[in-house]
Structure 1
């Protein structure tokens, strides 16, 4: 039997995006493309871009504060901060900077990296700390500034990505709102989507050399990633549904990582989920990696579309390759 308070409720959400917006017409002045070309292939119309002075910590903290406020908590009541990101301000970690920005001085804080699957992996990770009774209030943030690592001369990738942050507050509850999950990884497909370090040999003394260098911009095999997503994402959702003893007819919303509208539609079709139940905001923001799911969730909550007790299937997929699904109910 579960101990009292070992369930999970998701009690607050928040989001933040940079003020600067670049639409497809503007992007066509940088690279050989067009609004029609981008929109017909991806569904993306514009994306938000962080200016040179905007840090990931600031963007993440803005989304986090909104989530904490909606949860009616103070930052000092947060026990744990998980920051899902692939673009930290500091390779040693940015979650502690967010903790300081919020004044959440009681919270343990660390980064988690699973690329575009980061929020789903973070949701499951946060749940384990609550279910074991270690922490009561956990702040989970998905945030990325991918514009830092995009090759803006490569129209295959630069049209896809944008910057943003989203956050949720999870709290221990007698009623368990996290109904099931399923996580997967396959490193043999890592080469289809990565942001790899490229070392340059540096001679030290005698026959000793080390590798110093920088990270290469994002590279992606779009066709393979598309095939992977439309095949594996429905499978992992079906497994999560089975674990929760639910059918697709009992689902109120399908909330996928916002990568490509064609992927969203294909997954919905395979699962026989009506398109009006598929949440999509990528036309405005593009692919914001770990931020995409909580950013879309927060918008729907604040617009009153997602209501208390609604059942949501969410799934992330991306670099690693990683993918996973979770089923939860919104609210206390």
Structure 2
């Protein structure tokens, strides 16, 4: 598979096909961590119904493919503070720590990735992190993980942005390994959009998200078997479909006052006023147009997968897995539909789409790592298989990584869930 029969690229909407990275690197370590507290659809069904948009738990499951979300104890407490101590659908893990930070989750995921590769933290040459929901301005998540793991004081950089920062970091890692003396790069992502970037009462958005972290260990290679292809793009013309403004210090007092008023109105049963405030005041909260996300994000991800396979001259039949950002089950299936209808991929493409969204929710930049671990748990990944890892997120940002899977030294460490 290469260019079209006319010798030209297809008419892509988003991707610039000739700006990509080709490198030799191998995925040698993988880990993820998800807290064990649960929020079921019953919680958001109760919220939606109280706000005048009656939904059942089954309605929410049909719309998203989501059944539960893994969350921290502090997030369950936040839910009870807003919706009441007797709110349904909130399930505690008695052994969960009362306070658990994004860095705590990232460290566990990184430790599992190192253990799965049989490597030591002292071998890491570069740390790259991503988050769309942390509040660590400096030291950054990357720097704090470096400290907690006991790494050398090597480069530690953090990208902040929505759900495609992980594909951006894959490309950065490839370029670091190809252009520097670094041989081993640790990638980490930790997320809590549910608690940190959405308002829980904005249930159409907040109900999609869970919490967790993932980590990848990438090693420079000289083997032709480890040729990988990575591409990213950004199109701010579509920013309005999914955006988030971090509040400034000067806005903190106003935001706290609005929060207090929203909660007061909700507790008083003045739901029209709650809906008005949620729609009017968005600084500090994510804003999402679900219909446009469904239309645009799958197309961007499909273009990234198609163009990388053309660069690699890889026939679609030889791509075994498409393990995409786990945004929504309907969006995942739509990626396959776009590849089939727009780029003449075979009908079997839809069977290659990994969907592990149901029990975790959208983990933003940590979701591809989670989906890879779940694919390993199910025994779906095998030596030498090609897989594409696409993502799209707010901004609008999109990208993908095309690589072969070559196994892990200690796969049991990667699939740990305790």
Report the TM-score, using the length of structure 2 for normalisation.
Answer: 0.72
Asked whether 1:327 is paired with 2:402, we answer yes
Q: Which is worse superposed, 18-27 or 77-86?
A: 18-27
Larger Rg: 2
- SS of the residue 2:73 aligns to: coil
> Is residue 249 from structure 1 mapped to residue 271 from structure 2 by the alignment?
no
Q: Which residue of 1 aligns with 2:201?
A: 153
1:80 aligns with 2:126: yes
- CA contact 2:129–2:142 (8 Å) conserved in 1: yes
Q: 2:382 aligns with which of 292, 298, 307?
A: 307
Task: Check whether the contact 1:85–1:143 (CA below 8 A) recurs between aligned residues.
Answer: yes
Structure (1/2) with the larger helix percentage: 2
With 129-138 and 87-96 compared, the bigger mean Cα shift is at 87-96
Aligned pair partner of 2:47 in 26, 30, 42: 30
Cα separation, 2, equivalents of 1:284 and 1:114? 24
The 3-state SS of whatever aligns with 2:390 is: strand
Q: Distance in 2 between matches of 1:197 and 1:213?
A: 13
Query: Which residue is equivalent to 1:164?
Result: 212
Deviations 1:257-291 (A, max 9, x none): 10111111121123244433211110011111000
- Cα distance in 2 for residues equivalent to 1:37 and 1:308: 40
Which residue in the other structure is 1:137 paired with? 184
In 2, the alpha carbon distance for the partners of 1:269 and 1:225 equals 15
Which residue of 1 is the match for residue 278 of structure 2? none
d(CA) in 2 for partners of 1:31, 1:54: 28
What count of residue pairs does the alignment treat as equivalent?
Answer: 319
Separation in structure 1 between the aligned mates of residue 338 and residue 158 of structure 2, nearest angstrom: 34
Q: Distance in 2 between matches of 1:138 and 1:79?
A: 6
- The 2-side partners of 1:72 and 1:89 are apart by 32
Name whichever structure is richer in strand by fraction: 1
Distance 1:35 1:182, change over 3 A: same
* Alignment partners' CA distance in 2, 1:213 and 1:110: 32
| Contact kept? 1:198, 1:213, Cα under 8 Å | no
| Match in the other structure for 1:45 | 67
Partners of 2:48 and 2:150 in 1: CA distance:
42
Q: 2:237 maps to what in 1?
A: 188
Partner of 2:175: 128
1:192-219, Cα deviation, whole Å (9 max, x unpaired): 11121355869xxxxxxxx987652111
Structure 2 segments unaligned to the other structure (5+ residues) = 1-22, 50-54, 75-98, 256-282, 340-345, 408-418
Secondary structure in 2 aligned to 1:88? coil
Scaled by the length of structure 1, the TM-score of the pair is: 0.90
Aligned equivalent of 2:35: 18
Counterpart in the other structure of 1:290: 365
Quick check: 1:107 aligned with 2:129?
no
Q: Report the RMSD for the aligned CA atoms in angstroms.
A: 2.0
Deviations along 1:32-76, whole A, 9 cap, x unmatched?
Answer: 332222111111111111233110001011111100111110011
Tell me the CA shift for residue 229 of structure 1.
1.4
Distance 1:300 1:128, change over 3 A: same
Gaps of 5+ in 1: 1-5, 203-210
Instruction: Judge conservation of contact 1:78–1:106 (CA < 8 Å) in 2.
Output: no
**Shift >4 Å, 4+ stretches:** 198-202, 211-215
Instruction: State the distance in 1 between where 2:48 and 2:399 align.
Output: 33
Q: Which residue number in structure 2 is paired with residue 3 of structure 1?
A: none
Can you list the C-alpha shifts for 1:196-248, whole angstroms capped at 9, x where unaligned?
A: 1355869xxxxxxxx98765211101111111113222122211111111121
Q: Aligned pair 1:116/2:163, yes or no? A: yes
- 1:100 deviates by 1.4
SS of corresponding position for 1:276:
helix
1:76·1:106 contact (CA, 8 Å) conserved in 2?
no
